[in-house]
């Protein structure tokens, strides 16, 4: 049985006390103050330190791609996994600004590329329009390897982990999972992904409907649904969220794919969501419904849908600025003004 931690509410209160002692309006930094307090509760220490942070990018291909659900092919996953590993992708430029190290993992890339750490389950999932995307054994293997990613990163001294992914076709798997787990019509949960036209979008929706009909996933069985209409990247992220909850390390949720993995993790391993930090609201249609179900509060709403962990990375400079205020110790007493009173209303 996995041993999931629980938030340290005393540490949260101490962190909120520090915020309220700082010479600024009470709650003046809004949800940024809540994030810092949440990190304190996750780690159990109000002296929040996220100076060593990692972005874990999990990469995998999806067999359903053969059904024409994307304007890209398998070669894009290979090329982008290589680009991220070698520092040439968009997220690498953002990570440099945010001061975050990127670790790339091959969870099931069809056409292999040197560079990512090889944790491959298979060379891509099966075509889920014909049957389950993966076996239960494969699904659990991917989750266990996700837990292992966290164990390795924590062992290297990282105190904050962000999630990222790369895999052509994973908005199809995410939209299918969203439709089943949220009880929504695939026509509502499915977006244009990397830029599908209207006709291609309608085809993508019809393929997702077929995937759900063929596999008949049980919406009350999150892991069973994951195996039937998910992907190795999503399963690995489920493990990352679980591992973060076990190790008491904050984990930043990225966009659509990362968010649906977080929902699977919450449903399958209740309580693990305490370690999750929201970053942004993806422009993909299902994103807001998933976030509401998760109960997290993303700070950024900028219409982003880049993937790669870019939204999670974008949050980090905001947290850094909040921590600069939090750790400055410029209290009302030091500045020589009367403190604001906390209004209970």
283 and 243 assigned to the same domain: yes
Q: Is 2 inside a domain boundary?
A: no
**What span, in angstroms and rounded, lies between the C-alpha atoms of 211 and 324?**
48
DSSP calls for 64-128: GGGG--SSS-HHHHHHHHHHHHTT-SHHHHHHHHHT-EEEEEEEE-SS--SSSEE--SSSS---T
Spatial strand order in the sheet of 251-253: 117-118, 101-108, 53-60, 160-166, 251-253, 276-278
40 and 128 assigned to the same domain: no
- Structural domain that includes position 42: 9-47+325-335
The answer to whether 318 and 298 have CB atoms below 8 angstroms apart is no
Please give the positions annotated as active site. 308
Residues 50-96: tens digit of each pLDDT: 999 999 999 999 999 999 998 889 999 999 999 999 999 999 999 99
165 and 266 assigned to the same domain: yes
Q: Is 176 inside a domain boundary?
A: yes
* CATH number of residue 128's parent domain: 3.40.50.10210
Q: Return the pLDDT at 335.
A: 66
Q: Is 341 inside a domain boundary?
A: no
Residues 157-207: tens digit of each pLDDT: 999 999 999 999 999 999 999 999 999 999 999 877 666 678 888 999 999
**What span, in angstroms and rounded, lies between the C-alpha atoms of 264 and 235?**
9
Checking if the pLDDT of 248 tops 70, the result is yes
Query: What mean pLDDT do residues 256-267 have?
Result: 97
Q: Is 4 inside a domain boundary?
A: no
286 and 186 assigned to the same domain: yes
**What span, in angstroms and rounded, lies between the C-alpha atoms of 98 and 310?**
10
Percent of the residues in the chain that have a pLDDT greater than 90, as a whole number: 82
**What span, in angstroms and rounded, lies between the C-alpha atoms of 35 and 42?**
10
40 and 134 assigned to the same domain: no
43 and 185 assigned to the same domain: no
pLDDT grade, residue 276 (50/70/90)? very high
């Amino acid at each position: 049985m996995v041993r999931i931690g629980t938030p340290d509410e005393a540490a949260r209160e101490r962190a909120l006390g520090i915020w309220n002692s700082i010479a600024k309006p009470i709650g003046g930094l809004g949800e940024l103050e809540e994030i810092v307090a949440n990190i304190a509760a996750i780690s159990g220490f109000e002296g929040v330190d996220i100076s060593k942070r990692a972005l874990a990018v999990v990469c995998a291909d999806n067999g359903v791609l053969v059904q024409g659900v994307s304007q890209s092919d398998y070669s894009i996953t290979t090329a982008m996994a290589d680009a991220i590993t070698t520092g040439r992708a968009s997220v690498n430029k953002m990570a440099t600004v945010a001061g975050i190290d990127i670790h790339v993992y091959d969870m099931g890339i069809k056409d292999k590329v040197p560079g990512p750490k090889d944790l491959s389950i298979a060379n891509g999932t099966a075509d889920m329009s014909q049957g389950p995307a993966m076996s239960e054994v494969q699904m659990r293997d991917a989750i266990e390897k996700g837990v292992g990613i966290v164990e390795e990163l924590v062992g290297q001294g990282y105190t904050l982990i962000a999630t990222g992914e790369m895999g052509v076709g994973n908005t199809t798997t995410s939209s299918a999972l969203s439709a089943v787990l949220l009880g929504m019509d695939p026509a509502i949960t499915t977006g244009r992904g990397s830029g599908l036209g209207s006709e291609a979008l309608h085809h993508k929706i019809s393929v997702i409907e077929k995937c759900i009909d063929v596999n008949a996933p049980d919406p009350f069985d999150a892991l069973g649904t994951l195996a039937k209409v998910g992907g190795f990247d999503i399963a690995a992220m489920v493990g990352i969220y679980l591992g973060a909850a076990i190790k008491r390390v904050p984990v930043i949720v990225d966009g659509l794919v990362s968010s649906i993995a977080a929902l699977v993790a919450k449903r399958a391993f209740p309580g693990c969501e305490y370690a999750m930090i929201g970053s942004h609201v993806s422009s993909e249609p299902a994103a807001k419904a998933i976030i509401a179900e998760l109960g997290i509060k993303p700070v950024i709403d900028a219409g982003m849908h880049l993937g790669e962990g870019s939204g999670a990375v974008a949050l980090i400079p905001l947290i850094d600025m909040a921590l600069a205020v939090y750790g400055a110790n410029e209290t009302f007493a030091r500045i020589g003004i009367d403190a604001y009173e906390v209004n209970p209303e």
